[in-house]
Chains A and B, each alone.
Chain A
Amino acid sequence: MIKILLTEIIGYILFLFFVYVEEPIAVVAVMAAFVFAVLFLKKKCGEFVKSLEKTYADNLGQVGIIAVVLALTMPFALMGDAYWLQILNFSMLYAIMALGLNFMTGRAGMICLGYAAFMAIGAYTVGILTLKLGVSFWLALPLAGLLASVFGVILGLPALRVKGHYLALVTIAFGLIVQQLLLNLESITGGTNGLINIPSPHLMGMDMGANLNLSFMSMSYQANFYYLCLIILAITTILIYRFSNSLFGLALNAMREDQLAAQCYGMNITRYKLLAFAVGAFFGGISGGLYAAMINFIAPENFGYSMSILVISMIILGGLDSIPGAIIGAFFLTIFPEKFRAFEDYRVMFYGIIIVLCLLFMREGLLPFKHRIFKPGMPKGEN
């Protein structure tokens, strides 16, 4: 308990330091020092690191609660700063997407290089429903997830016949088709102009697009969305965790390992594949819906191929099939480049380099997937 609390607080302080220090060189220096410290610790005090890992693994509930409590205080620590809150909001949206994609690709083995399409579908669902039809955001958001799921199944149907590289190609094509449709169905989607003035959600009479005024301090409106994203990220994490740790999740793992063998052992592959696509797409849609309500403006170019690649690089960096990995990967790849805005043009190259380096030197990612441990044995008093 104490260990978890302390390490999480260290992480929290490091992040604040990262935010408040302006000089990129100082940031790089401290980050490098941190990485070396971790590597050094691992080498010198391997036992300690291992016991820490075990403490974390054994007390997932505590880890989650402490993290959420710390996260709740973050807007105050940032003094309601709009810029950094917005970045954190994006990190959380990406984390939700990364969790969804990780379920599809990491757990079920369905490679998807067109994931941004699901986000686009979610964003446009919320956009069109709230802007043109006046539907409440709170109803539109789940609908966005469900519609993305439906499209996930539609993508899944041709994907049933292909796997590996061919599946990757099908999903790239899917991403492009969705983007082209958004561009060309002008009467519904607004074409290249996109949708503007999407209304902000209202919660108990309060406009989430207005500043958050507390009696002692005032925060920019991003703080509202910060808390909304945090709640949805927490729910997403719990859902994905439960899916993954059920026997259903185990079956998906088996399907990833060997489709033919899984089929010969009674798995209806069609059903499981479509379910994997539906679940993965659902969270993409939710993330897109949140994005539309937060930014109030969406256009097809926001959901291009590079976005799909970004989400893939997040889960590769974090570790395929690893839930904490997906979250860390999303936060790292969203926050880290922010300090280097001057090199904005090289952003996509940076993601490319990350993927290549990970695949070469760290195939399992930052936080590799941990295998389930079962205690074999017979029940007492039976047989």
Chain B
Amino acid sequence: MKLLDVQKLTICFGGVIAVNEVSFALQAGETLGVIGPNGSGKTTLFNLLSGIYKPTAGTITLAGKPTQGLRTDEIFHLGLSRTFQNGRLFWNLNVLENIMMGLEEVRKTSIVGSIVGRQKEKDLQKQAVQKASKIMEIFGTLLTSQANKIASDLPYADRRRLEICRAIASNPKVILLDEPSAGMDGIETEVLMNDLLKVKKAMPELSIIVVEHDMGFIKGLVDKVMVLDYGKRIAYGLFDEVATNEDVIKAYLGQGDEAC
């Protein structure tokens, strides 16, 4: 069964059609790369999938349920989690707390529960800390050694790792990675690539959609690639097919006539 099914997804901002009838499907455990030049609608597509924007037309079906009319947090509970292009960690919280925010334990406590039923609250906290610690171990001691550090004090690469940990903490079915390599040099990108492969290995059932600017980065990571240009899907398929596609080369190098 398809885990995520997107049909003719469209959104208009005023007169601009930012995403134009984009359709694709994702199986469990599959990794899809979304590439395209700046302004081609990649991040908008993510915002549509996670429910921040409401589509003008088209449908999204996640794990058999249409997400139309659902709030962002309800879509998260269906099993969709994401990272953001420019970080958006909880900067003034520490590493463990950031990861804990992705866990269901946080939402199991209530305001009443924090006064009465103290034992339950304590158990939940303990459980959450343990779960979060275990998730960090995916990157060895890189994060565990800084568990009580404030997120904004982390080095850049560790912030990216923390973001990934937070995104997978809820054991989601699909995660959306929005330009994870933004602002990184070649070596850092390679390290990040390895990190993502570690995640894939640890969670074989997890589907990933990764938005990228740079086609080289996703080559070894993705099963399929979708190319967007001016909000339209101009190519979709295996990496090698897409990389040699004439439309794609045109969109990237700006050859030929580019009518909107």
Bound state CA distance, A341 and B152, in angstroms? Answer: 45
Q: In the complex, how many angstroms separate the beta carbon of B120 from the nearest chain A beta carbon?
A: 10
Q: Given A257-B90, A257-B93, A265-B76, are A377 and B133 neighbors across the interface (CB < 8 Å)?
A: yes
Q: Is the CB of A239 within 8 A of B94?
A: no
Q: Is the CB of A239 within 8 A of B115?
A: yes
For B144, the chain A residues whose CB sits under 8 A away are 376
Chain A binder among B28-36, B97-105, B182-190: B97-105
Q: Per a CB cutoff under 8 Å, which of B88, B94, B105, B134 touches A258?
A: B88
Contact B88 A378 (CB under 8 A): no
Q: Which of A218-254 contact B (CB under 8 A)?
A: 239, 242-243, 245-251, 253-254
Given contacts A264-B76, A265-B102, A376-B147, contact A275 B125 (CB under 8 A): no
Q: Is A371 an interface residue (CB 8 A)?
A: yes
Is A246 in contact with B113, judged by CB distance below 8 angstroms?
yes
Q: How far is the CA of A378 from the CA of B127 in the complex (A)?
A: 10
- Considering only residues 46-69 of chain B, those with a C-beta below 8 Å from chain A are 50, 52
Q: Are A250 and B114 in contact (CB under 8 A)?
A: no
Instruction: Return A250 CB to nearest CB of chain B, in Å.
Output: 6
Per-position binary interface string of chain A over residues 259-293, scored 1 when its CB falls under 8 Å from any chain B CB and 0 otherwise: 01111111111000001000100000000000000
Complex Cα distance, B189 from A78, in Å, reads 68
User: Cβ of B111 < 8 Å from any Cβ of A?
Assistant: yes
Residues of B within 8 Å of A379, CB to CB, are: 130
Q: Does B73 contact A (CB under 8 A)?
A: yes
If A261-B90, A264-B52 touch, does A372 touch B136 (CB 8 Å cutoff)? no
Query: Is B217 part of the binding interface, using a Cβ–Cβ cutoff of 8 Å?
Result: no
How near does chain A come to B100, taking the closest CB pair, in angstroms? 7
Mask of B123-143 contacts with A, CB within 8 angstroms, 1/0: 011001110111010000000
Contact of B124 among A247, A372, A375 (CB under 8 A): A247
The reply to whether B72 and A247 form a contact with Cβ atoms under 8 Å apart is no
> B111 is contacted by which of A243, A373, A378 (Cβ under 8 Å)?
A243
Q: What distance in Å separates the Cβ of A242 from its nearest Cβ neighbour in chain B?
A: 5
Given contacts A372-B94, A372-B97, contact A251 B132 (CB under 8 A): no
Closest to B50 in A: A264
Known: A247-B121, A247-B124, A264-B82. A374 touches B73 (CB 8 A): no
Whether A253 touches B97, Cβ cut-off 8 Å, given contacts A247-B105, A247-B124, A264-B72, is yes
A263 to B104, CA, bound (A): 13
A371 to B166 Cα, complex, angstroms: 19
Known: A248-B114, A266-B73, A268-B73. A373 touches B148 (CB 8 A): yes
Knowing A266-B76, A378-B134 touch, does A258 contact B90 (C-beta < 8 A)? yes
Nearest Cβ in chain B — how far from A380, in angstroms? 11
| Chain B residues with CB under 8 A of A279 | 111
Which residues from chain B contact A260 at a C-beta distance below 8 Å? 52, 88
Residues facing A in B173-221 (CB within 8 A) are none
Q: Which of B81, B132, B150 contacts A371 (CB 8 A)?
A: B150
CB-CB < 8 A to A377: which residues of B? 130, 133
Question: How many B residues touch A, CB cutoff 8 Å?
Answer: 50
Bound together, the chains give a CA A371 to CA B93 distance in angstroms of 8
Given A251-B107, A372-B97, also A246-B76 (CB < 8 A):
no
Give Cα distance in the complex from A250 to B97, angstroms: 8
- B93 proximity list for chain A (CB < 8 A): 250, 253-254, 257, 371
Residue of A nearest to B97 (CB): A250
Within the complex, which residue of B77, B114, B115, B125 is in contact with A266, where a contact is CB–CB below 8 Å?
B77
In Å, the complex CA distance between A303 and B41 comes to 51
Please, how many angstroms separate the alpha-carbon atoms of A256 and B96 in the complex? 17
Shortest B160–chain A CB gap in Å is 15
Contact of A376 among B104, B110, B113, B133 (CB under 8 A): B133
* Smallest CB gap from B152: residue in A: A257
Q: How far is the CA of A266 from the CA of B79 in the complex (A)?
A: 10
Q: Find chain B residues with CB under 8 A from A374 CB.
A: 94, 96-97, 129, 147-148
Q: How far is the CA of A356 from the CA of B1 in the complex (A)?
A: 61
Q: A239-B115, A251-B101, A377-B130 are in contact. Are A265 and B81 (CB under 8 A)?
A: yes
Q: Are B72 and A254 in contact (CB under 8 A)?
A: no
Is A246 a contact partner of B121 (Cβ separation < 8 A)? yes
Min CB distance, B94 to chain A, in Å? 6
On whether the beta carbons of A378 and B73 are closer than 8 Å, the reply is: no
Nearest CB of B to A156, in Å: 14
A257 to B91, CA, bound (A): 7
Chain B residues with CB under 8 Å of A267's CB are: 73, 101, 106-107
- In Å, the complex CA distance between A245 and B166 comes to 21
| Residues 326 to 383 of chain A near chain B (Cβ within 8 Å) | 371-379, 383
> A275: nearest residue on chain B (CB-CB)?
B111
CB-defined contacts of B150 to chain A, threshold 8 Å: 371
Q: Are B170 and A266 in contact (CB under 8 A)?
A: yes
Per a CB cutoff under 8 Å, which of B90, B102, B109, B147 touches A246?
Answer: B109
User: What residue of chain B has the Cβ atom nearest to residue A245's Cβ?
Assistant: B114
Residues of A within 8 A of B125 (CB): 246-247
CA distance A335 to B131 in the complex (A): 47
B227 within 8 A of A: no
Identify which of A245, A250, A256 contacts B101 (C-beta below 8 A): A250
In chain A, what residue has the closest Cβ to B105? A247
Interfacial chain B residues near A246, Cβ < 8 Å:
109, 113-114, 121, 125
Contacts of B84 in A (CB 8 A): 261, 264
Show 14 A/B contacts (Cβ-Cβ < 8 Å), sorted by A: A243-B115, A250-B100, A253-B90, A256-B92, A264-B50, A264-B72, A264-B81, A264-B82, A371-B94, A373-B148, A374-B97, A376-B132, A376-B144, A378-B134
Query: What are the nearest 7 A-B pairs in CB distance?
Result: A246-B114, A376-B133, A257-B90, A266-B76, A376-B147, A261-B88, A247-B109
Q: A246-B121, A248-B113 are in contact. List 13 more A-B contacts (CB 8 A).
A: A250-B97, A250-B100, A251-B106, A254-B90, A257-B91, A260-B88, A261-B90, A263-B71, A264-B72, A265-B73, A266-B77, A266-B170, A371-B148
